[in-house]
Amino acid sequence: MNVFELVSGTISMLVIIPLGYIAVQSMRESRDLRRIQEELTVLVRESKEISQDVQRLQHELRTEQDAARVGIDETQRTVEHVTAIVERTAEQVTEVASDTLTLAAAGPDAVTAITSVEQQDTRSRSAPHLAWRRRRASAHAQHDAE
């Protein structure tokens, strides 16, 4: 029986050594796993913060794009308005030049009489336009003040 106890004790000792090694190795791996979990937690937090920053930047970009669209639309309306004014002015200049040439051909007395009538007509036609320009300038001044 002593031999049996000796053999079984030896086998038990031989089996305990690998089990001890495995236990020590598993403790090391569990520490590494905890460290990796902590690093992963930090990375997840940072990724959330980065995601929030990206969302904020996207919101700011949308806001700036909307403001740019409004500015472009306003500029386009202003250009169209100025174009209309320039076209009307060009037509008026053409009419005046044509009338002047016609009057010059008619004689000097006709030029004096018609010129005074045209001056009165021009004043009456420009009055609404001048009032409109004053209202527009006032609106722009209020808008700039805001």
User: Do 82 and 126 sit in the same domain of this protein?
Assistant: no
The pLDDT tens digits for 70-118 are: 999 999 999 999 999 999 999 988 888 887 777 777 665 544 555 555 5
Same domain, 15 and 54: yes
Q: Tell me: do 81 and 136 sit in the same domain.
A: no
- Whether residues 47 and 114 fall in one domain: no
* Model pTM score: 0.44
Assigned token pair, 139 = 């609106």
Round to whole Å and give the CA distance between 64 and 76. Answer: 18
Token pair in block for residue 38? 């902590």
For the chain, the first-to-last Cα distance in angstroms comes to: 106
Task: Return the pLDDT at 111.
Answer: 47
Domain residues for the domain of 66 are 2-106
Domain count, the chain: 2
Long-range contact set of residues 82-85: C-beta below 8 Å, sequence gap at least 24: none
8 and 22 in a common domain = yes
pLDDT tens digit sequence for 126-141:
556 566 666 676 666 6
